[in-house]
Amino acid sequence: MNFSLTTLGVSSASPTTDRYPSAHILNICGRLFLIDCGEGCQMLMKRHGISLMRLERIFLSHLHGDHVFGIFGLLSTLSMSGRTEPLHIYAPEGFDRILQFFREHFLERDTYPVEYHQLTATEPEMLLDDALLTVSALPLRHRVPSYGFLFREKEPGLNVRKSAVAEYSLSVEEILALKSGRDAVRADGTVLRAEALTYVPYRPRSFAYVGDTAVFDGLSDMVKGVDLLYHEATFGDDCADKAAQMFHCTARDAAETALRAGAGRLVIGHFSSRYKDTGVLLRQAREVFPDTEAGMEGAVFEVPEKTHKDE
């Protein structure tokens, strides 16, 4: 089952000739989530074969232009394409006014409902909790209200070992009991232990998105143990003071957060236009956290499925 991040836009406020502003697609088992919607987002999605119509939810980290300027074009195209499914948008306070302005001035056909979920929490808050995954908002520290997002697959149900079905001639009732984690007790007193006869088919995967933020205590705890971490790395060591003044992070800051969090892999992005070659930022991050990669347009970062064999 697919679990992957596609980085589309990895530039900060000023786009460059080869880098667009923030926009990313997270694909979890075919469910598409857009995280930030910078200028040109819909064009990048089309260029890389990502269906606009399959978007399930949009998560906007904050309301700076380089993270939202693409939303008008995207919403307009969805309407012109005849979307009817509701679109859920999670964004900080104030997005309702942006949405109202769009509807009043640019929306010719209102073919689908937009469900706006306002982000106001000052502590991590659950946004979505369904049968397959949870999504939480993570309050960050920026010049305006800003949020990261944590996506986690849920623990799967137990599977009964195929060898046990044959060996013990398990009945349907016994299989159901074992899959629910309960021991099955037969009429003759034989106890079939769920712990011995079942297994977890796969380990849940996780992804955290840390957009514009200053360094602060507690961030690494909020993303503890994630398989894949995307973290802004606007500046390099040469601009550490500027990063602090602007409530941004350096590549080294991002790597230190990944290290403290015990993340599996780190992807850095949101690069300042002053860096024509992002290789210098990648090298600085890898000095602290070797399993770091630099985001670029169309790059796909997969979190492989870790299955448990039926032994």
Per residue in 124-183, pLDDT (tens digit) is 999 999 999 999 999 999 999 999 999 999 988 888 999 889 899 999 999 999 999 999
DSSP assignment, residue 1?
-
Q: How confident is the model over 69-76, as a mean pLDDT?
A: 96
Three-state DSSP class for 177? helix
Three-state DSSP class for 199? strand
247's CB contacts (< 8 A; 6+ apart) are: 141, 142, 143, 212, 213, 214
pTM exceeding 0.75: yes
Question: How high is the pLDDT of residue 265?
Answer: 98
Q: Which helix (H) or strand (E) holds 299?
A: strand 299-302
Question: How high is the pLDDT of residue 308?
Answer: 64
Tokens 């990063």 correspond to what residue?
Answer: 243
Question: How high is the pLDDT of residue 3?
Answer: 97
Amino acid at 77: T
At 181-238, the pLDDT tens digits run 999 999 999 999 999 998 888 889 999 999 999 999 999 999 999 999 999 999 999 9
Q: Does 310 score more than 80 pLDDT?
A: no
Q: How confident is the model over 96-104, as a mean pLDDT?
A: 94
Question: How high is the pLDDT of residue 156?
Answer: 85
Q: One of 66, 212, 227, 253 is an active-site residue; which one?
A: 66
- Provide DSSP, 71-123: HHHHHHHHHHTT--S-EEEEEETTHHHHHHHHHHHT-S---S-EEEEEE--SS
Q: Does 311 score more than 80 pLDDT?
A: no
N-term to C-term CA, the chain: 21
Q: What percent of the chain has pLDDT over 70?
A: 99
Question: How high is the pLDDT of residue 309?
Answer: 58
Question: How high is the pLDDT of residue 107?
Answer: 85
Query: From CA 58, how far away is CA 68, in angstroms rounded?
Result: 11
Q: How confident is the prediction for the chain on average, in pLDDT?
A: 95
Q: Which two tokens stand for residue 259?
A: 């290290």
Q: Tell me, yes or no, if 66 is annotated catalytic.
A: yes
Q: CA 22, 28, 29: angle at the middle one, nearest 5?
A: 145
Are 249 and 236 in contact, with CB atoms under 8 Å apart? no
Q: Which two tokens stand for residue 180?
A: 């629910």
**Inter-CA distances, 222 with 86, 228, 285, Å:** 30, 13, 20
Query: From CA 241, how far away is CA 248, in angstroms rounded?
Result: 10
At 238-259, the pLDDT tens digits run 999 999 999 999 999 999 999 9
Question: How high is the pLDDT of residue 297?
Answer: 97
Helix axes 71-80, 95-105, angle to 10 degrees: 50
Tokens 């599977």 correspond to what residue?
Answer: 159
Q: How confident is the model over 117-127, as a mean pLDDT?
A: 97
Q: Does 85 score more than 80 pLDDT?
A: yes
206's CB contacts (< 8 A; 6+ apart) are: 150, 151, 152, 153, 225, 226, 227, 228, 303
257's CB contacts (< 8 A; 6+ apart) are: 210, 215, 219, 220, 223, 229, 231, 249
Pairing assessment for the beta strands 228-232 and 206-210 based on DSSP bridges: parallel
Are 56 and 88 in contact, with CB atoms under 8 Å apart? yes
